[in-house]
Amino acid sequence: MCGRYAASFSPDDIVDEFEVDDDRLAEHARSVLVNPQDPPAGKPDWNMAPTKQAPVVLTRVPKDDPDAGPVRQLRLLTWGLVPSWAKDTKVGLRMINARAETLLDKGAFAKAAVSRRCLVPADGWYEWQVSPTATDAKGKPRKQPFFIRRGDGEHCAFAGVYEFWRDKTKDGDDPDAWLTTYSIVTTAAEPGLDRIHDRQPLVLDRDVWQHWLDPTNTDPDEVRALIESPSAGRFEAWPVSSAVGSGRNNGEQLVLPIGESELHGVVDPTTGEIIGE
């Protein structure tokens, strides 16, 4: 699964790199958080977690100009997809990820997969490796967090799907009547990364962004072809501080590698060697 990621770049960087036509981050978007988001939504965040609002790239026909045709937009969406038929927003906590293998079959994701696809910009993601040899103070297998990113220095573009949920307790003209949420599509981890975890986000290369975002591309077979795992070997990974496990922590220090002396029963994803037995 993907339960934490880093998105440290500015909105201007996303607009440039993802060739966004319409930056709508300043527009009001309903949040499910009780307390104000920290860092504020749309600002660089090194510890993006479920229920937070995050910058997401999607292509839609603007409601205020339906003759304009599909426009690539940058919007704030809440991480954790809430299906349109859900009774409340709590279900989103269980739908932060959508498995590529069943994306077009699962009721919660199937419609979004063929008409509401998005890209989630990220520096990379965090994953926790369960040690085969070391245990924690409670006698349970020790978990070591890793940070994983593209080895070529490019930002990641996670494949995602999004959905609209209508709060029937609010008037239609209430700005909080609608909640827009997303899930990150995951796939089987490639060789090497599978030594950290058996799943990883589906990271799309630039040459398929246009096709993935195109809302007129509603052929399930074409969508299925797009979610076939790309070639392996695009990523690099290193162990990081356990501080990332707390949502209260943020900053660039979360992605910095830790020294070998701090590792206990950690499997090197490249060689399979156990470090710090």
The residues carrying an active-site annotation are 2, 127
Phi, psi of 263, rounded to the nearest 5 degrees = -100, 140
Rg of the chain over CA atoms, in angstroms?
Answer: 19
Look up residue 242 and give its two tokens: 């356990």
CA distance 141 to 93: 25
CA distance 183 to 118: 9
Neighbours of 30 (CB within 10 A): 19
CA-CA distance, 96 to 104, in Å (whole number)? 16
Cis peptide before 39 (omega within 30 of 0): yes
Residues 73/75/81/83 CA torsion (nearest 10 deg): -70
